[in-house]
Structure 1
Amino acid sequence: MVDDLIAFLRARLDEDAAAAGAATWCADAAVWRAEPSPLGARDGGQRWYIEDAMDEGVITHVDPAASDGEGVAQHIARHDPARVLREIQAHRTTVDEYDIALGAPAATDRAAYWKGHIETLREVCLRIATAYADHPGYREAWRP
């Protein structure tokens, strides 16, 4: 049986990967950058847009009324699909390592090592899971 925390994390990572994949039309276009728009904002300030690596406009204008337009645009670009997919892969590696450690035989001369390894990996997985604390499947008992 797969640990509930592992199943929860794998499902959330799969959802994140699907969303990142749906946000771009091809892998080459998954890297985004924020660019100042030649069009002014409604209040005369600077308007920004998000462009992918293929020079296609992803978001035609970032012109938030209640926050810094450049800050919002840079944040969106910094969390482009390519970066999100790299982060997902890093988290999947940790979750997989935890799953492997849980299945390792405890009755060996390395039992103490595995016990410590499992505890450490569980702590890391619990910290990763806090990113999904607003999901209905998240359990407060997982909060580190």
Structure 2
Amino acid sequence: MDDLVRWLGEQLDEDERIAKAATPGPWHARDDGVVSDDGVHWPVAYTDARLGSADVVHISEHDPTRLFNEITFKCKLHAWALNSLRREAPDQVEMVIRLIAETYRHRPGYREEWRA
């Protein structure tokens, strides 16, 4: 369990690093791609409007602002789980940690034995 907790913390740190390195949000979908709007329109991604309109919406909905909100939530849940792990319903708390970690199963270091 300690390995899982440590690995999950590393994934949350990596998410934060990625979001901080990205073009600041909010991002908005346009016909030809995604732009950042911090007073001027900065291009974030271009796509073929005919084929990629769903991609444009998806990308714009996953800007750094949203990622920071998700990281904050996951960090709070992770901290709660760590504080509760040995005191209150450890089996349920472990399941919460496993479920959060599953969202990162595509990343290096994830172990199938951690799957919820």
- TM-score, length-scaled by structure 2: 0.87
Larger Rg over CA atoms: 1
Give the alignment of 1:41-120 within 5 angstroms.
48-54=32-38, 55-59=40-44, 61-63=46-48, 68-104=51-87, 114=88, 116=89, 118-120=90-92
Shift of 1:53: 2.4
Fraction of identical pairs, as percent = 31
- Cα gap change, 1:77 to 1:7, in 2 (>3 Å): same
Matched, 1:32 2:27: yes
Measure, in 1, the Cα distance between the counterparts of 2:43 and 2:12. 23
Residue type at the aligned position of 1:78: E
Q: Any gaps of 5 or more consecutive residues in structure 2?
A: none
Number of residue pairs matched by the alignment: 115
- 4+ residue segments displaced more than 4 Å: none
Q: What letter matches 1:128 in structure 2?
A: I
* Larger helix percent: 2
Question: Cα RMSD between the aligned structures?
Answer: 2.0
Please state whether the residue corresponding to 1:30 is helix, strand or coil. Answer: coil
Q: Is the 8 A contact 1:94 1:121 kept in 2?
A: no
* Structure 1 unmatched ranges of 5 or more: 37-47, 105-113
Q: TM-score, normalised by structure 1?
A: 0.71
